[in-house]
Amino acid sequence: MEMMKINNLSKTFTTEKETQVKAVEDLTFDVRDGEFVCLVGPSGCGKTTILRIIAGLDTPTSGSIIWMTKNHSIGFVFQGESLLPWRSVWDNIAFGLEIEGRDEKEIKKEVSRLISLMGLEGFETSYPRELSGGMQKRVAIARAFSIDPDILLMDEPFVSLDAQTRNILQQEVLKIWEETKSTVIFITHNVDEAVYLADRVLILTPRPTKVKYEVPITLPRPRDRTEQSFIEVRKDILAKMRTEGD
Ligand SMILES: Nc1ncnc2c1ncn2[C@@H]1O[C@H](COP(=O)(O)OP(=O)(O)O)[C@@H](O)[C@H]1O
Ligand SMILES: [Mg+2]
């Protein structure tokens, strides 16, 4: 079942010098309930803009987003740094639940479940600055999943990490996604990452961006990057990214 439809969405920014930047033009796609969708596109094409509009942090110039359910909670893992530096690991993960006004007992149960799910035991009282980049991402992911969002938006969350840490965190995200049955829209420009994670990859054009190709990934999970079938899908997506036009 579809949870959200994006119809002919466009976004034009007017800069301080009054010039117009067309970031998104005529973008259309659906997201199904429980689906893991990856958006892949060149840097500067408008990916963050799309996520910000879906999250309601910005408004489209034209077009619409239709939600199939009246109430939908949204989680967001931002591109840059997003932990609260003055809060410990535990308190960072508890933040969203506190905002929602959950009772103390429930918060405690949920935070400790996420701490163990994300392998953060022993770091509960540490502060973000005391953690490696990979650990900080684990905290950000735990926090995003804490409110059990209907849809989770992740904006190039692993971009600054080394390949090994990245691969481990991809597995962690899949584990938590399977467990919580949330819907995820995940932005990356790493094709290998998209093929490993996604049910469906949407290849975006350069700016102004729209969907150029839609590629369902039917490889069984857990996926093996060294398998021929995986490599073939990766090749196909890379070739589709290189082709001109739409
Ligand atoms: N608030 C803004 N004002 C003006 N231009 C913006 C604004 N936000 C983004 N842009 C422009 O829109 C384009 C797409 O940006 P963005 O969505 O961040 O790309 P991506 O995330 O794919 O790298 C860029 O050219 C960027 O400079
Ligand atoms: Mg971006």
The per-residue pLDDT for range 162-190, each reduced to its tens digit, is: 899 899 999 999 998 998 889 999 999 89
Distance CA 62, CA 179 (A): 36
Torsion angle in degrees (nearest 10) through CA of 202, 207, 208, 213: -20
Distance CA 159, CA 99 (A): 28
Q: Which ligand 1 atom lies nearest to the CA of residue 14?
A: 4
Distance CA 108, CA 91 (A): 10
Per-residue pLDDT band for 245 (boundaries 50, 70, 90) equals low
pLDDT score of 155 more than 80: yes
Q: What is the pLDDT of residue 71?
A: 83
> Closest Cα to atom 20, ligand 1: which residue?
44
Domain 2-72+150-242 in CATH 3.40.50.2300: no
Q: Which ligand 1 atom lies nearest to the CA of residue 46?
A: 17
Ligand 1 centre and the CA of 128: distance in Å?
A: 28
Give the rounded percent of residues in the chain with a pLDDT score beyond 90: 78
Please tell me if the CB atom of residue 44 comes closer than 6 angstroms to any atom of ligand 1: yes
pLDDT score of 203 more than 50: yes
Distance CA 146, CA 196 (A): 24
The segment(s) of the chain belonging to CATH 3.40.50.300 are: 2-72+150-242
> Closest Cα to atom 25, ligand 1: which residue?
44
Ligand 2 centre and the CA of 78: distance in Å?
A: 9
Q: What is the pLDDT of residue 244?
A: 66
- Higher-confidence residue of 218 and 147: namely 218
Q: What is the pLDDT of residue 246?
A: 47
